[in-house]
Amino acid sequence: LQVYYYYLNGHYDLTIYTIDQINDLLFQVNDPFLKMAYGARVDEIQVNIYLKQKTELIQSRKIANRILDRNFSTAHNITAYHILGLSYFPESYEQSISYYLKCIELYSKFPDRQAEILENKEEISFLQKYWNKSIHDEFAVSEFSLLLKQDGDLSKYYKDERYHKYALLFDGIKESSSEKLLLSHHYFSKSKDYFRASFPKNELNRIGFRYTL
């Protein structure tokens, strides 16, 4: 309960500290199912924190693969595939999309998870745009991703709570605008998604913007 409380309230260092305490106590548990169940729960939280908040790619991928090896439940495997897909987003288009597609494939087994399928398809549209690929029709699932596909005007999304980070990122890339890339970095960081904040930061470095973020 402490872990979930800290995690949901954004206290990530306290979350990891409490998970370490749980792992120490798990050595004293004899029931193998309980060990696996608690291990799966804490790994699901850790894998998100190590990627999104701590930007420790090696550790997050290690935990994601441990989740897949454990194969405790489809829901946990979905989390692992999603994290792996996201972790390779700025590094490898092929690896990233392959993991996202595995995630969508597992979601498709649950008729009530259409919203999550659309979210992952939309993330693929962001991936394709980021890598300067043509956005496939099947991934243009929202007005915003359709606009990306058409290379349309994203400025109306600059104040949109959900899309402003990406609108500023993609326009910042297209225009080589340090101002828009800095705003994108600010908004990602403000939501404590430091991994995605590295996307505009990388672009700032690419255009030669000298600033310590």
Report the percentage of the chain scoring pLDDT > 70: 99
**Could you give the 3-state DSSP secondary structure of residue 192?**
coil
Q: How many CB atoms lie within 10 A of CB 61?
A: 18
Burial of 10 (0-12, 13-18, 19+ CB in 10 A): exposed
User: Looking at residue 209, what is its pLDDT?
Assistant: 83
List, for residues 86-139, the tens digit of each pLDDT value: 999 999 999 999 999 999 999 999 888 999 999 999 999 999 999 999 999 999
**pLDDT value at residue 179:** 96
Which residues, including other chains, have CB under 8 Å from residue 21's CB and lie 6 or more apart? Answer: none
For residue 74 the two structure tokens come to 């489809």
How high is the pLDDT of residue 135? 97
47 phi and psi angles, rounded to 5 deg: -65, -35
pLDDT of residue 45 exceeding 70: yes
User: Is residue 4 very low, low, confident or very high in pLDDT (cuts 50, 70, 90)?
Assistant: very high
Average pLDDT over every residue of 79-85: 97
Percent of the chain with pLDDT over 90: 88
Task: Report the mean per-residue pLDDT for the chain.
Answer: 94
Contact 75, 102 (CB under 8 A): no
DSSP string, 91-159: T-HHHHHHHHHHHHHHHTT-GGGHHHHHHHHHHHHHHHHHTTPPPPGGG--SHHHHHHHTT---GGGTT
Answer yes or no: is pLDDT of 142 > 60.
yes
Give pLDDT, residue 26.
Answer: 87
Q: How far apart are CA 15 and CA 11, in angstroms?
A: 6
The pLDDT-based confidence of 208 (bands split at 50, 70, 90) is: confident
Asked if pLDDT for residue 213 goes beyond 60, the answer is no
Q: What's the confidence (pLDDT) of residue 212?
A: 59
Mean predicted confidence (pLDDT) in 58-70: 96
pLDDT category, 6, cuts 50, 70, 90?
very high
Model confidence, pTM: 0.92
For 130-157, b/e burial (b = at least 16 CB within 10 A) is: beeeebeeebbbbebbebbbeeeebeeb
Could you tell me the residue ranges of all domains in the chain?
1-71, 153-213
Paired tokens of 14: 């306290």
Mean pLDDT (whole number) for 133-159:
96
Question: What average pLDDT does the segment 56-82 reach?
Answer: 96
Q: Tokens representing 119?
A: 């979210």
Neighbour tally for 97: CB within 10 Å: 20
The CA distance from 203 to 99, in Å, is 24
pLDDT band of residue 202 (cuts 50, 70, 90) is very high
Residue 211 has pLDDT above 70, yes or no: no
Tokens of 158: 């600059």
